[in-house]
């Protein structure tokens, strides 16, 4: 991760009072949902934190 990306993550975490782990977990889940959607499969949207972005 570049210093700029790390700073962006830290700013996001501070602004929304979330841990880095929480933010990254939400991002990974949203990527999983997007991938499954492209494959035409169902995904439980309740597992995706849409407040990430």
Task: Please report the pLDDT score of residue 37 as a whole number.
Answer: 81
The DSSP-derived string for 9-48 is: HHHHHHHHT--HHHHHHHHHHHHHHHHHHHTT----GGGS
Task: Please report the pLDDT score of residue 26 as a whole number.
Answer: 93
Q: How confident is the model at residue 53 (pLDDT cuts 50, 70, 90)?
A: very low
Q: What is the pTM of this model?
A: 0.64
Give 15's DSSP letter. H
CA distance linking residue 29 with residue 27, whole number of Å? 5
pLDDT tens-digit readout, 11-52: 999 999 999 999 999 999 999 888 888 888 765 655 555 555
Task: Please report the pLDDT score of residue 11 as a whole number.
Answer: 97
46, 53 Cβ separation under 8 angstroms: no
């Amino acid at each position: 991760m570049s210093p700029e990306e790390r700073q962006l993550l830290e700013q996001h975490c501070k602004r929304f009072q979330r841990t880095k782990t929480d933010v990254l977990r939400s991002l990974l889940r949203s990527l999983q949902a997007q991938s499954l959607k492209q494959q035409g499969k169902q995904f439980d949207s309740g597992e995706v934190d849409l407040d990430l972005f």
